[in-house]
């Protein structure tokens, strides 16, 4: 009798397994895994964009996210029935919370003082929901298919593949093409579509399926309408980040480029950081270019690292003895924009179209590492060292490469942040350069838009400054000497800062601390 009952149970189980098709759930695993890793990357990137310090932002996000996923996995054991209903609820919640995450973060940064609290809430909330997904899916398959060993292997295989796809799709396509808000809404839409597909495919297993379908479709319509309006929403929110009217906003593979204008004041921002204002940029660029030019007798070949706006090139072209200028800027969209945009062309004197100029779109570090040619002047016009990628361009190793790229009589100069507002950062750069050059001369000037700004001039051997003989708007033969005089509140004991080493980036710590208190 027992044998007959066992045979009947086995037949029933086989019929049930035959009726239940779990292949769609494996595809679901792939999709939710892609969404999960992208949410993690979006929040990390957004926080870095708004607050800098990428190591801190990514570390906090990854740590909290993984812990929250663990909490979600733990809580999943309390879910014992109506698994399909619970899974749909989790997907809807993840789609809404993740889809609108960047919108919430941007608004909280503009209008509140509790950005980090809101960020932590989003990380933990999305993490807990993501932590629930795989355990619930596993339970669903386990209850409807006896071969749990094979199904577990398949689930984790698709989960890991999804993680790879998401981690590649975000930096290579989604972020540079769509930006923060549109990317988040697209990924949120995927989560909600997953819940709708599961609902339609496994309707017989779901309680109140028709009512749930109305809710799912309604949420899908809302997020889809938000997606269609994403560009307008982005422009509207960006307007709160900038003082003046935005006339151009472009996300490239490397950075967010924004140009604003108010009357005659044209401003360029990269990743939210002001690069120049047309009303006073000439002060900065005259000091950046003409001071090193006065410390070397030859200007035949000039290298610019950064400076894709063409403003430093404009100043260099004032010297007739310059034969060749090589400009190395990592972002081709930046140099293209500044060579085609009429507003910027007017400001840089169409310098990027000069026959003397050669533009190379490459990483500055890689260029000086591999270059074998020598230059008479090297001008380092790079953004401030607020992340690890930029920090390596302010290290002793980098300055060693700079030295190797100079002729015997050559000079180099680097913008070095503010000796007043970021004192430790400025003198850290000075001390680091001194590990490679016999002479490192700090100088500074007042740029009204930026405040007090500093530079470090680097060369070997003895030099004497020549007289200024090119047309300028700010520098004169009489005032140029004042650039080398520092007030008591800007001087600093170099023993209180460390050399910025490639493997111990002390400059980032100094800079981020000073920016927070700027």
Domain limits, the chain: 2-235, 238-274, 276-516
Hey, which residues does 306 pair with through a beta bridge? 381
Six-digit token pair at 74? 């733990």
What pLDDT was estimated at residue 16? Answer: 45
- The three-state secondary structure class of 152 is helix
Strands 357-360 and 265-270 turn out to be unpaired
Per-residue tokens: 178: 């769509």
Residue 517 sits at φ, ψ, to 5 deg, of -105, 15
Q: Which pLDDT score is estimated for 145?
A: 62
CATH number of 276-516: 3.40.50.150
Largest CA distance in the chain: 112
Per-residue pLDDT, 504: 84
pLDDT along the chain (518 residues), means of 10: 46 44 80 94 88 83 95 90 92 95 90 91 95 89 67 83 93 87 94 92 88 93 89 77 83 89 92 91 97 95 96 97 97 96 95 97 96 96 88 95 96 96 96 97 95 96 91 95 94 93 88 84
Give catalytic residue positions. 381
Is the whole model's pTM more than 0.85, yes or no? Answer: no
DSSP 170: I
Is residue 13 classed as helix, strand or coil in its secondary structure? helix
Q: How far apart are CA 353 and CA 356, in angstroms?
A: 9
**What is the model's pLDDT at position 253?**
87
User: How far from the centroid of its chain's Cα atoms is residue 60's Cα?
Assistant: 16
CB 395 within 8 A of CB 433: no
Structure tokens, 291 = 């001071």
Say if residues 316 and 413 touch (Cβ distance below 8 Å): no
**Which neighbouring-strand residues pair with 273?**
270
- In SS3 terms, 219-245 reads as HHHHHHHHHHCHHHHHHHHHHHHCCCE
pLDDT at 342: 94
Lateral strand order in the sheet of 375-381: 357-360, 324-328, 301-306, 375-381, 406-415, 451-459, 439-447
Q: Compute the half-sphere exposure of residue 39: CA atoms within 13 Å on the CB side of its CA.
A: 34
The pLDDT assigned to 6 comes to: 46
Contacts of 326 (CB under 8 A, 6+ apart): 301, 302, 303, 304, 357, 358, 360, 375
- How many Å apart are CA 249 and CA 96, to the nearest integer? 26
455 within 8 A of 442, measured Cβ to Cβ: yes
Token digits for 78?
A: 């309390």
Find residue 301's DSSP bridge partners: 324
Number of other residues whose CB lies within 10 A of the CB of residue 463 = 16
Do 55 and 187 form a contact (C-beta atoms < 8 A)?
A: no
Q: Which CATH architecture has domain 2-235?
A: Up-down Bundle (1.20)
């Amino acid at each position: 009798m027992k044998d007959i009952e066992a045979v009947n149970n086995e037949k029933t189980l086989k019929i049930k397994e035959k009726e239940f098709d779990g292949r769609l759930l494996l595809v679901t695993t792939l999709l939710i895994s892609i969404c999960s890793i992208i949410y993690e990357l979006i929040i990390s990137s957004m926080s870095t964009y708004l607050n800098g310090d990428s190591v801190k932002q990514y570390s906090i996000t990854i740590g909290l996210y993984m812990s929250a996923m663990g909490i979600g996995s733990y809580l999943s054991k309390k879910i014992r029935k109506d698994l399909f209903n619970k899974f749909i609820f989790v997907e809807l919640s993840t789609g809404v919370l993740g889809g609108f995450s960047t919108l919430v973060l941007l608004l909280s940064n503009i209008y509140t003082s509790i950005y980090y609290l809101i960020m932590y809430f989003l990380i933990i909330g999305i993490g807990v929901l993501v932590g629930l997904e795989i355990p619930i899916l596993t339970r669903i398959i386990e209850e409807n298919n006896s071969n749990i060993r094979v199904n577990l292997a398949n689930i984790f295989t698709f989960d890991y593949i999804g993680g790879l796809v998401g981690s590649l799709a975000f930096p290579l396509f989604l972020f540079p093409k769509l930006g923060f808000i549109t990317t988040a809404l697209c990924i949120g839409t995927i989560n909600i579509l997953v819940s709708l597909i599961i609902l339609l495919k496994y309707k017989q297993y779901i309680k109140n399926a028709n009512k749930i379908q109305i809710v799912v479709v309604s949420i899908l319509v809302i997020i889809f309408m938000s997606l269609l309006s994403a560009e307008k929403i982005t422009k509207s929110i960006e307007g709160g980040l900038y003082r003046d009217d935005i006339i151009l906003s472009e996300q490239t593979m490397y950075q967010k480029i924004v140009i604003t204008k108010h009357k005659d004041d044209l401003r360029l921002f990269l990743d939210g950081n002001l690069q120049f204002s047309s009303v006073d940029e000439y002060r900065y660029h005259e000091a950046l270019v003409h001071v090193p030019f006065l410390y070397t007798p030859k200007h035949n070949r000039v290298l610019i690292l950064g400076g894709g706006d063409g403003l430093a090139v404009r100043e260099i072209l004032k010297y007739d003895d310059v034969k060749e200028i090589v400009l190395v800027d990592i972002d081709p969209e930046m140099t293209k924009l500044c060579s085609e945009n009429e507003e910027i062309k007017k400001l840089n004197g169409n310098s990027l179209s000069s026959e003397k100029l050669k533009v190379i779109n490459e990483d500055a570090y890689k260029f000086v590492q591999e270059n074998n040619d020598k230059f008479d002047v090297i001008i380092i016009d790079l953004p401030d060292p607020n992340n690890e990628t930029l920090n390596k361009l302010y290290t002793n190793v980098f300055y060693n490469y700079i030295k190797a790229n100079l002729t015997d009589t050559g000079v180099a100069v680097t913008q070095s942040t503010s000796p007043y507002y970021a004192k430790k950062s400025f003198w850290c750069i000075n001390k680091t350069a001194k590990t490679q050059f016999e002479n490192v001369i700090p100088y500074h000037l007042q740029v009204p838009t930026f405040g007090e700004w500093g530079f470090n001039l680097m060369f070997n051997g003895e030099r004497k400054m020549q007289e200024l003989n090119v047309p300028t708007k700010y520098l004169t033969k009489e005032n140029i000497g004042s650039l080398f005089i520092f007030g008591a509140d800007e001087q600093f004991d170099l023993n209180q800062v460390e050399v910025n080493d490639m493997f111990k980036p002390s400059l980032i710590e100094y800079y981020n601390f000073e920016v927070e208190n700027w």
